[in-house]
Every structure is written in C-alpha cells, then in structure tokens.
C-alpha cells in the first residue's frame, strides 16, 4: 500500500526518512493520502481512492484489498491522513531503530542493498529433508505444492508441518545461517537435506535459463519433474506459474543461495 522503496536510499535524505517514520502525517507522498467514506448505513471505510464513477467508488484498504462502494450509498467523503499509523517504530529498541534508518538510507545503492536488480528469487520456501523423508520417498515432497502439510510419519519433524517461508536479502542472497535456522529440527532428528523452493511465472512458452550462485550445485525439480544436478539449468517452460525446488546438502550448505533468471518473473506470494 505504500510507495515503492526499491531505490529510496538514493532519492531521500536520512532526515526525511526518519521524520516520515516517526511522523507519517507530516509529509504524505502524493497519491497516498487516505480517503474516509461514511455510508448511509453508518459504516466508515478508509483507504486510498483507486477510482470513482457515477455508480461506484473504489478504495484500496490497508490490507491491500479493493473495496467497492455504490455511489448512491455514500453519505460523505473526506480526505484522511496517512494509512501508516504513527509511533509504530517505538516498539523497536534504539539499536533496531538505527538499523532500520541505516537500511532505508542504503536501499537501492550499489552493493548488498541494491534492490533494483530484477531476475532474482526473493521469496523462498524451506522444508527439512530428514531421514524419514529419504525413506518415505522424496518424490512425494517435490511433487506436492508448497501448501501441503505433512504428518510426522512422513516428515519426522512434527505433525502438520510444512514449508516455511523465508525472504532473501534485497539483492537475492539467502545466507546459509538463515537457511539452517529456518529448517532446523529437533535434537533427536537426523537432518540429511534441506529442500528450498520458489515460484515464478512466464508469459509465454519459451526456453528459460536458471543459474544458482557461483560454486553451488544442487538437484532440482520443476513442478515435480527432475532437472538433474547442476549449477545452471536450461529448459523449455510452458506459459503460466511454476514451482522450482532444489535439494541442498544439510551438512554442506552454500555460503549463500541465490537463484537468477532473466527469462521469468519470480513471485513473492
């Protein structure tokens, strides 16, 4: 719902960023003022106005959902304040606040905070590959979608467990320490592999090239079909949304996992 932060560190001074976080209503970016709509049935709706016609008024609320209001039900419409509540940052420690200001002021600049680079996976799903999984059959894991939940009999790591979401750094790096922590299992459970997957979309059927971080080789599957074990994969992909999964050696994780492709759009849902 907020403005694009991809390169905010290159366009906004630190004092402006700090003021905007502490006092979001002082300077609201054009196009991000909220609208308050009172209806004839005594509802009060708040959001950013998307469109208005003779028959309806459409708002986008703070949950990023479109709300359609029949024009003949609108009693009053007023300009509101920023959708960002004030004082959110006060729940953070002083060090966390300073870290946040520093991060935003560097975001978009060349280096590890360069979020402008496209063609990298930034949202991953992780699943522990225990001895139980190896015995049960990994094909069951790689063929199922990311919403699938597994019993302790299959996963060996608790009933109703499943894939955990882990965001990468803004430049697409996924550090080994983050992978190990997210896919950790109980002390008495043997972890053999870690499955890491992400989603992408391609507009039309075409050849696509996927490259892992330098020095990283992993067994891969596309929508449950094996792609072999490599660092670089070239394959024909049908138009639509897809799921790609890699199997990493839990005892020899790459220092950084990164997946790149100029031929597809990686999804963050």
Domain endpoint, select from 79, 106, 133: 106
Task: Determine phi and psi for 77, rounding to 5 degrees.
Answer: -125, 130
- According to the model, what pLDDT value does residue 1 have? 64
Q: Is 63 in the same domain as 144? A: no
Q: Are residues 169 and 211 in the same domain?
A: yes
Is 221 in contact with 142 (CB distance < 8 Å)?
yes
CATH number where 211 lies? 2.60.120
Same domain flag for 222 and 96: no
Residue numbers of the domain that contains 95: 8-106
In a shared domain, residues 160 and 96: no
Domain assignment present for 228: yes
**Domain end residue (candidates: 106, 137, 168):** 106
Residue 115 phi/psi, 5-degree rounding, is -95, 0
Please tell me whether residues 53 and 141 are part of one structural domain. Answer: no
Closest to 183 (Cα-Cα) out of 167, 168, 166:
166
**Is 77 a domain residue?**
yes
| pLDDT at residue 134 in the model | 78
35 belongs to a structural domain: yes
* CA dist 59 → 137, 158, 163 (Å): 48, 42, 34
Same domain, 66 and 146: no
Domain with residue 45: its CATH number is 2.30.30.100
Mean pLDDT of each 10-residue bin along the chain, 269 residues long? 81 90 83 85 88 90 86 90 81 94 91 83 92 82 89 75 91 94 82 94 96 94 96 96 96 95 92
Q: What interhelical angle do 94-106 and 14-22 show, nearest 10? A: 130
In a domain, 3, yes or no: no
Let me know if residue 184 belongs to a domain.
Answer: yes
Same domain, yes or no: 74 and 137? no
Residue 154 shares a structural domain with residue 234: yes
In a domain, 16, yes or no: yes
- Asked whether residue 114 is assigned to any structural domain, the reply reads no
Q: Answer yes or no: is 115 within a domain.
A: no
Number of domains in the chain: 2
Q: Do 94 and 20 have their domain in common?
A: yes
**Domain check: are 160 and 214 in the same one?**
yes
Which of 106, 133, 159 marks a domain boundary?
106
Q: Tell me which residue of 224, 223, 230 sits closest to 201, measured CA to CA.
A: 223
* The length of the chain, given as a count of residues: 269
Is the domain of 170 the same as that of 40?
A: no
Predicted pLDDT at 132: 82
Same-domain pairing of 208 and 143: yes
């Amino acid at each position: 719902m907020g403005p694009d932060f991809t390169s905010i560190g290159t366009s906004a001074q630190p004092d402006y960023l700090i003021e905007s976080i502490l006092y979001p209503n002082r300077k609201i970016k054009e196009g991000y003022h909220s609208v308050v709509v009172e209806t004839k049935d005594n509802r009060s709706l708040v959001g950013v106005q998307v469109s208005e016609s003779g028959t309806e008024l459409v708002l986008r609320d703070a949950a990023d959902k479109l709300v359609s209001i029949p024009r003949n039900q609108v009693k009053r419409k007023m300009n509101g304040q920023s959708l960002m509540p004030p004082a959110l940052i006060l729940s953070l420690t002083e060090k966390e606040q300073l870290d946040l200001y520093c991060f935003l002021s560097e975001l978009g600049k060349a280096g590890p905070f360069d979020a402008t680079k496209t063609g990298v996976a930034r949202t991953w799903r992780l699943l522990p590959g225990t001895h139980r999984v190896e015995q049960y059959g990994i094909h069951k894991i790689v063929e199922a979608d990311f919403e699938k939940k597994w019993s302790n009999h299959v996963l060996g790591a608790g009933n109703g467990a499943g894939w955990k979401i882990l965001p990468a750094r803004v430049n697409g790096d996924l550090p080994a320490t983050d992978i190990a922590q997210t896919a950790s299992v109980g002390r008495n459970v043997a972890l053999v592999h870690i499955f890491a997957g992400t989603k992408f979309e391609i507009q039309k059927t075409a050849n696509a090239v996927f490259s892992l971080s330098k020095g990283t080789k992993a067994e891969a599957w596309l929508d449950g079909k094996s792609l072999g074990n490599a660092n670089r994969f070239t394959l024909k992909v049908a138009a639509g949304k897809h799921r790609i999964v890699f199997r990493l050696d839990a005892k020899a994780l790459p220092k950084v996992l990164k997946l790149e492709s100029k031929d597809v759009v990686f999804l963050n849902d």
